[in-house]
Amino acid sequence: MTTDPSTTAGPPLAERLLAEMSDLCEAYAREQVARALAEHSADHNEHQLHTNRADYWGGETLARYNALVTAITAAVPQEAEAQLEEFRPVRTLANGHVEIHARDQHARPVVVRFTGAEAVTVGVHLTVHAAIGLDRTGAKVDQVLPPVLAAVPPAVIGEPPVPVIGRAPAPQ
Residue 163 resides in a domain: no
Q: Where in the sequence is the domain holding 106, given as residue range(s)?
A: 90-146
For 87-142, the pLDDT digits (tens) are 678 888 888 888 888 888 888 888 889 988 888 888 888 888 888 887 788 777 77
Distance CA 15, CA 70 (A): 15
Same domain, 64 and 24: yes
117, with CB counted inside 10 A (0-12, 13-18, 19+), is exposed
Same domain, 94 and 135: yes
Split into its structural domains, the chain has a count of 2
Same domain, 50 and 100: no
Q: Which of 22-36, 100-114, 143-157 has the lowest mean pLDDT?
A: 143-157
Residue 165 resides in a domain: no
